[in-house]
Structure 1
Amino acid sequence: MASQAPAQQLVTVFGGSGFVGRHVVRALAKRGYRVRVAVRRPDLAGFLQPIGTVGQIHAVQANLRYPASVAAAVKGADAVVNLVGIMQEQGRQGFSAVQANGSRAVAQACAAAGIARLVHVSALGAAAESRSSYARTKAEGEAAVFASVPGAVVLRPSVMFGPEDTFFNRFASMARMLPVLPLVGDGATKFQPAFVGDVAEVVARAIDGTVEGGRVYELGGPEVLSLRQIVEETCRIIGRKRLLAPLPFPLARIMGSVLQFADMLTLGLIPDELVLTRDQVTLLESDNVVSAAAAAEGRDFAGLGIAPTSVEAIVSSYLWRFRKTGQFDTARAN
C-alpha cells in the first residue's frame, strides 16, 4: 500500500473515457486521487471533469499503437490502469495491435518508469489456445503485462452491464427494431454478468494497494444466465414480445462473415446492433463464467469482500428508454 495520501498520487487511466473508464475514473476521484485520462481523443473526454474537483481530472492524448505517447502518459504517475480493449477490428485498430502489443507497451512503459502498481483489465475467456482472436490476444496482453510488471493486478470480468453498456442495450435496441431475434447456438451460452460499478471498485482497491498483486482475478455477478435468459429478460423489461429464433453455429459463422464484410464495404454504415463478426460467434461457443479454481482460491468478488450487484437491481433503471412509451410507461411488463 502506498504511503502517500490519494490526493498526493497521480493515476494514469488508459481508456478512461470509455464505458468502464468513466466508472473507474469516478471511483478513483471519490477516493481523492488525481487522475490523468489517457485517450486517443482527449477533446471528447471533457465530460469526465465534473466527476471530480477542479483540476483533479485531466485528459491527455495517447495511442497504444505509439509507445512514445504511452511513455509520455505514464510519466510522473504513481499508478496506472489499462482498460483499453475492442470487440471488433476496424482499420489499424486490430486485436493484436491494441490488446497484445498495446498492453505490452503500457507494461513496458510502467517498468521503465519504475511504476509497480499496474491494474490491467482483461476479460473472462482469455486463453492463449483460443480459436478466437479476441480471447487469444487478451491472453497475450496478460502475459506481456506480467513479463514487465510481475506484481500487476489482472482482472478478468465477465460481460459487464451498466447504463452505457453494449450488451443489454444492444439486445433492447434489436428488440425495438426487429420482430424476430436470432439466438446464436440456441442461446445456450452461459454468462455471469458483472455490474461495471463493482468492477470499478475492484480497480480502485487495487490502486489503493489492498488487492494482492501478481494474480488474475475473475469477476462475475451473482447470477449465471444463458444468452436466451438474458434476451428474454431484456424483452420483459422493455415490454416487447419477440420471437426468439435459434441460429445454429455453422449458419451464424456464415452470417458473421457476411455481415462483417458488408460493414466494411459500407464503411461502418450498418447499425452496430446488427453487426455480428465471425470472431464473436467463436466466442459464443464457450461459456463466460468464473472458474471453480478462481472461486476456490478467492480470486473473485467474494474473495475480495464484495457482494456483486444483480442484473435485476440495475438493468431496468436504464432500459426504460426502449419501452414503447419510454419513461412514461408505468405498466408492469409481464
Structure 2
Amino acid sequence: MTIVVTGATGFVGRAIVEQLSAAGERPRCLVRDAAKAAQSLPAAKVDFVEGNILHAATLDGVFKEGDILMDSSFMTANLKQHGEETYYNVNVDGTANLIAAAKRAGVTRAVVMSGLGTKADKPGSYMQGRYLAEEAFKESGLGWAILQPSVQFGKGSAFFKGLADLIKGVPLVVPIAGTGKETFQPIWVDDVARIAVMCLNDPQYDGQSYPLGGPEIFTYAQILDHLMATLHVKKTKIPGPKPFVMLGAAVMEAVLPKPPITTAALGLFDFPNTTTLDSVAKPFGFAPQSWLTYMQANGAD
C-alpha cells in the first residue's frame, strides 16, 4: 500500500508529506515538475510521479491497486485565477480526472482536503467549485474522509502572510474588510496534517466530513491586533464597505501576480469560519496548538 499525495508542494501537502515521511512511509507525490518539487520536499524519502490533474492523460500510471489517495490539490481562495488555472477547472474538472484515474487503478479510499463552510454557491465561484469537488468524492464509490479546516497558520501560511504583508505595506492604517467582527478559528497546519495521516491510516474515519478548528476563536479585528502586536506595528484599523474592499481586491488581482488578498478569499468573511472548540479533541484525541502560543515562539509569518 502506498499513499499518493496530490498538491504535495502546497502549504498543507508539504506538511502531510513531511509527517508521512517521518512516520516511515514513502509517499508517492504527484507533481508537475519533479526537479522543482525536490527543492521543497524530502526527495530522498518520497517518490515523484509527474502529471497534471487538468490533463487526464497525464494521470495514467500515477496510481496502483491498493494505493490510498491523499488529495490536497485544491486551488485555494488566496490564489489568483489565470489561464486554465481557475477554481472550476482545478477543483471540479481536476477532481473528476483524479477520481477517474484512481478508480481505474483500483484505489478504494481517499482523504480529501477542503475547508470550513463548504456549500453550494453561484456557478464558477470558488465555493461552488469546492462544494462540487466534495460531492464528487461522496458520489465516487470510494471510501472518503473530508477535512474542513478553518484558516491555517504555520510557516508559509498564505492567509496570515497576506495579512502581515497588508499590515506592513499600507501606510498609517490597516483596511478592514467588512465590520471586523467576522470570526475565525485558526488551526496549525501540522495539526491538520496529523489528522490527515490518522485518517489515511484508519478507515474508521471514512464516510464523514470533519470541520476542524483550533482552541481559540477570534474576530478579524482581533487577528489584526494580535498580528500588529507581534510585528511591533501600531496602525489604525479602518473598516471599509464590502463592495469597496472587493473592488480593491479585484484591482490587486488584475495587476499583481500574487495579490495579498483575492475576491475569493474575501468570500470567507461571509460566514463564521468556526466550528466547535472540541472539533479536534473529540474525534482525534489530541489538543490542537494555540495560534497565540505559536506566534510567541515563531513570529507572525
TM-score by length of 1: 0.82
The Cα offsets for residues 25-62 of structure 1, whole Å up to 9 and x where unpaired, read as 011112221111111222221135547xx4x3122212
Q: 1:61 aligns with which of 50, 57, 71?
A: 50
- Name the CA distance, whole Å, in 2 between partners of 1:131 and 1:66: 22
- Name the CA distance, whole Å, in 1 between partners of 2:252 and 2:161: 20
Aligned match of 1:332? none
DSSP 3-state at the match of 1:272: coil
Whether 1:78 and 2:67 are equivalent positions in the alignment is yes
Residue 310 of structure 1: CA displacement? 0.7
Whether 1:313 and 2:300 are equivalent positions in the alignment is no
Q: Aligned runs of 1:96-111 on 2, under 5 Å?
A: 96-111=88-103
Residue 211 of structure 1: CA displacement? 4.3
Instruction: Summarize the Cα distance change of 1:278–1:49 in structure 2 as closer, same or farther, 3 Å threshold.
Output: closer
Residue 199 of structure 1: CA displacement? 0.5
Residue 186 of structure 1: CA displacement? 2.5
Aligned match of 1:12? 4
Aligned AA for 1:117?
A: R
Aligned match of 2:271? 286
Instruction: Summarize the Cα distance change of 1:171–1:132 in structure 2 as closer, same or farther, 3 Å threshold.
Output: farther
Aligned AA for 1:98?
A: V
- Name the CA distance, whole Å, in 2 between partners of 1:109 and 1:313: 42
Give me the identity figure in percent.
27
Q: Which has the larger displacement, 147-156 or 189-198?
A: 147-156
DSSP 3-state at the match of 1:152: strand
The Cα offsets for residues 173-225 of structure 1, whole Å up to 9 and x where unpaired, read as 22222222111002221111110001001110111115420111111111111
Which one has more relative contact order, counting CA pairs under 8 Å at least 6 apart? Answer: 2
Aligned match of 1:329? none
Instruction: Summarize the Cα distance change of 1:159–1:49 in structure 2 as closer, same or farther, 3 Å threshold.
Output: closer
Larger Rg: 1
Whether 1:272 and 2:264 are equivalent positions in the alignment is no
DSSP 3-state at the match of 2:249: helix
Q: 2:39 aligns with which of 38, 47, 57?
A: 47
Whether 1:237 and 2:217 are equivalent positions in the alignment is no
Structure 1: stretches of 5+ with no match in the other structure: 1-8, 323-334
Aligned residues: 297
Aligned AA for 1:305?
A: G
Q: Quick check: 1:158–1:194 contact (8 Å CA) kept in 2?
A: yes
Q: 2:188 aligns with which of 167, 191, 195?
A: 195
The Cα offsets for residues 211-267 of structure 1, whole Å up to 9 and x where unpaired, read as 42011111111111111111110110111111211011121222233333334xxxx
Q: Quick check: 1:150–1:214 contact (8 Å CA) kept in 2?
A: no
Q: Which has the larger displacement, 236-245 or 76-85?
A: 76-85
Residue 130 of structure 1: CA displacement? 5.8
Q: Which runs of 4+ in 1 moved over 6 A?
A: none
Structure 2: stretches of 5+ with no match in the other structure: none
